[in-house]
């Protein structure tokens, strides 16, 4: 297996092509994040701008300026000079004082601007204010009172108003809000993209068989396609069990491939452990369906639910909850015959499968029973009476339960749910097994995509998980155990 220590160069190095592929995958799968951040931010800017917007009214007039003197009335050069000089006159402090006094104010209740149309004596005069009528009154006062200031600078002049815009209307609200929404949308899109980039960098998972080989250097036993759970009535079966449901041909065929590879690697061996990295990866369902697939080849299979904290095989096979379980056998409260539950198919016919369930409500302090002499003796008995014993154990990366059974097993199959557990949890789980000299025969990619099959995987809207009290992630597989 590849180096798994957290400080190794292999984990620190980020392959650019792999990163870009991962980012593209996140964009395709989590595109809604971009939509949400863009829309939410745009709406936020819209409401912020629309509630705080202060209207600004601009009254405008276009006027021609010329001297009153007949000698210079037709002199174009003089007219152009007046056009260039007058803006400074109309916006001067002297005129502002006169206008303020004319309006009975201490200061001009608005802003006066004036510009010259180059090469002419035409002026554009504008007054902006928060009140439309005030802006227009100031404009009229400027036109009316300019002679008292201009005569001291250029002599007697006249302004001939060519165009008067009248009382202005607020035309800037729509433009301002539209611009604000546009800025908000751009910011929201950038935030969403940053989130996806950060997610792609930090949330490194395993999605394909190629990832298994590249990251773990562990053989792949096969890939199981994602099966979307149908909405059913509470009385109907909810778990994926190919013993009762044969409509998922892709899944059944993939399980046959896994069965063949497991059988080849376990030739002459009898005890198989099925485990995973973290809760929610579907390993109990995989163990159950592998048992069914093995039984269809005529092999006798005993499936032991070794999860004393959160057993699930009773539910998967629709067995009575009150049936004695592994804990009862190990503590002598029930005999093996009482705990062995034969499994029947949909027609009520007995199969080659028997299940020893986990014991409901078992306290975690009894987990040490898994390493007891009673457990060792039980496994010896089971091996003597059947062809294959499958042990469904808790996750190896978070709990020590699976490690307790490693010495009693002949092979370990490691289930990895595609794009679910972080790489560090997977590496830790595999490393724990390797340190315990576990006979790891390969990994099963659950709900993944195989280069050979092309089965795709997507995972939304399902919430099944363990009750261990370990708050690991969300978005559990659609057919994982509770």
Residue 97, judged by CB atoms within 10 A of its CB (0-12, 13-18, 19+), counts as middle
Q: In this predicted structure, which of 76-90, 232-246, 266-280 has the lowest mean pLDDT?
A: 232-246
47 lies in some domain: yes
CB-based contacts of 340, cutoff 8 Å, min separation 6: 302, 354, 355, 356
Residue 26: domain span: 15-54+170-203
- Residue 452: inside a domain, yes or no? no
Kindly state whether residue 457 falls inside one of the protein's structural domains.
no
Nearest by Cα to 207 from 355, 24, 33? 24
Measure the CA–CA gap between 262 and 427, rounded to whole angstroms.
22
pLDDT digits (tens, 9 = 90+) for 463-475: 333 444 433 333 3
Tell me which residue of 248, 327, 232, 336 sits closest to 285, measured CA to CA.
248
Asked which of 126-135, 210-219, 279-288 is least confident by mean pLDDT, the reply is 210-219
My answer on whether 88 and 216 are in the same domain is no
3-state secondary structure of 337: helix
CB 182 within 8 A of CB 38: no
Q: What is the pLDDT of residue 478?
A: 31
86 and 24 in a common domain: no
Domain harbouring 135, CATH code? 3.30.70.1130
Q: What pTM value is reported for the model?
A: 0.61
Q: Are 441 and 219 in contact (CB under 8 A)?
A: yes
Considering the domain architecture, whether residues 249 and 385 belong to the same structural domain is answered as yes
Pairing of strands 341-344, 350-356: antiparallel
| pLDDT band for position 43 (cuts 50, 70, 90) | very high
The average pLDDT across 449-453 equals 46
Q: What percent of the chain has pLDDT over 90?
A: 26
What is the per-residue pLDDT across 5-22, written as a single tens digit (0 to 9) for each? Answer: 444 434 434 566 766 776
Average pLDDT of the residues in 81-103: 83
Query: Are residues 55 and 144 in contact, defined by beta-carbon separation less than 8 angstroms?
Result: no
Instruction: For the chain, give the mean pLDDT.
Output: 79
CA dist 325 and 305 (Å) reads: 8
Dump the DSSP string for 253-321: HHHHHHHHHHHHHTTT--EEEEEESSTTS-HHHHHHHHHHHHHTTT--EEEEE--SSS--HHHHTT--T
Question: pLDDT-derived band of residue 119, with 50, 70 and 90 as boundaries?
Answer: confident
Q: What is the mean pLDDT of residues 121-127?
A: 87
Same domain? 108 vs 27 = no
| Percent of the residues in the chain that have a pLDDT greater than 70, as a whole number | 79
Task: Find, among 278, 273, 290, the residue nearest to 438 by Cα.
Answer: 273
- Please tell me whether residues 212 and 306 are part of one structural domain: yes
Q: How do residues 71-82 score in pLDDT, each as one tens digit?
A: 444 455 566 666
Contact 417, 446 (CB under 8 A): yes
What tens digit of pLDDT does each residue of 96-109 get?
A: 999 999 999 999 99
Given a contact cutoff of 8 angstroms between Cβ atoms, the answer to whether 276 and 443 are in contact is no
User: What is the Cα–Cα distance from 176 to 46, expressed in whole angstroms?
Assistant: 10
Is pLDDT larger for residue 230 or for residue 328? Answer: 328
467 within some domain: no
Number of domains in the chain: 3
Identify whether residues 289 and 185 lie together within a single domain: no
Does the pLDDT value for residue 364 go beyond 90? no
Beta strand residue intervals within 130-187, DSSP E: 157-164
In a domain, 464, yes or no: no
Q: Own/partner pairs for 256-263, CB < 8 Å, 24+ apart? A: 256/293, 257/222, 258/221, 258/222, 258/224, 258/290, 258/293, 258/444, 259/290, 259/293, 259/294, 259/297, 261/221, 261/222, 261/442, 262/221, 262/290, 262/294, 262/411, 262/413, 262/441, 263/294, 263/297
pLDDT of 451 higher than 50: no
Structure tokens at 331: 């503590």
């Amino acid at each position: 297996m590849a180096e798994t220590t957290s400080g190794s160069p292999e984990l620190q190095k980020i392959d650019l092509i792999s990163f870009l592929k991962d980012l593209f995958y996140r964009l395709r799968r989590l595109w809604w994040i971009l939509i949400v951040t863009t829309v939410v931010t745009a709406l936020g800017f819209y409401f912020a701008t629309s509630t705080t917007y202060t209207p600004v009214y601009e009254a405008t007039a276009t006027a021609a300026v010329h001297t009153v003197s007949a000698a210079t009335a037709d002199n174009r050069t003089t007219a152009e000079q007046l056009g260039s000089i007058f803006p400074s006159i109309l916006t001067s402090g002297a005129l502002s004082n006169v206008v303020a006094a004319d309006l009975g104010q201490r200061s001009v209740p608005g802003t006066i601007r004036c510009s010259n149309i180059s090469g002419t004596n035409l002026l554009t005069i504008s007054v902006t204010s928060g009140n439309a009528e005030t802006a227009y009154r100031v404009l009229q006062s400027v036109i009316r009172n300019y002679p008292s200031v201009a005569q001291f600078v250029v002599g007697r002049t006249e302004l001939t108003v060519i165009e008067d815009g009248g009382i202005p209307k607020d035309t800037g609200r729509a433009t301002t809000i539209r611009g604000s929404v546009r800025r908000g949308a751009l910011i929201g899109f950038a935030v969403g993209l940053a989130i996806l980039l950060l997610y792609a960098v930090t949330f490194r998972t395993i999605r394909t068989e190629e990832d298994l080989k590249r990251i773990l250097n562990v053989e792949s036993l096969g890939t199981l396609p994602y099966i979307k759970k149908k909405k059913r009535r509470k009385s109907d079966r909810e778990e994926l069990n190919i013993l009762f449901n044969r409509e998922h041909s892709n899944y059944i065929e993939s399980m046959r491939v896994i069965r063949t590879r497991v059988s080849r690697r376990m030739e002459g061996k009898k005890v198989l452990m099925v485990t995973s990295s973290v809760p929610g990866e579907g390993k109990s369902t995989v163990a159950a369906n592998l048992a069914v697939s093995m039984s269809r080849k005529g092999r006798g299979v005993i499936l032991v639910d070794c999860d004393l904290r959160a057993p699930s095989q009773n539910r998967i096979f629709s067995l009575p909850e009150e049936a004695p379980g592994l804990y009862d056998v190990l503590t002598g409260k029930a005999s093996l015959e009482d705990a062995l539950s034969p499994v029947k198919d949909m027609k009520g016919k007995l199969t080659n499968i028997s299940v020893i369930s986990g014991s409901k409500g078992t306290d975690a302090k009894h987990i040490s029973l898994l390493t007891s002499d009673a457990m060792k003796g039980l496994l010896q008995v089971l091996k003597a009476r059947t062809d294959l014993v499958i042990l469904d154990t808790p996750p190896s990366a978070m709990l020590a339960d699976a490690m307790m059974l490693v010495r009693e097993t002949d092979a370990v199959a490691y289930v990895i749910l595609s794009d679910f557990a972080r790489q560090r949890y997977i590496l830790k789980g595999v490393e724990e097994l390797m340190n315990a000299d576990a006979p790891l025969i390969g990994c099963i990619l659950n709900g993944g995509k195989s280069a050979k099959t092309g089965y795709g995987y997507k995972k939304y809207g399902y919430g099944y998980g363990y009750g261990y009290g370990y708050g690991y992630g969300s978005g559990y597989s659609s057919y994982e155990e509770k």
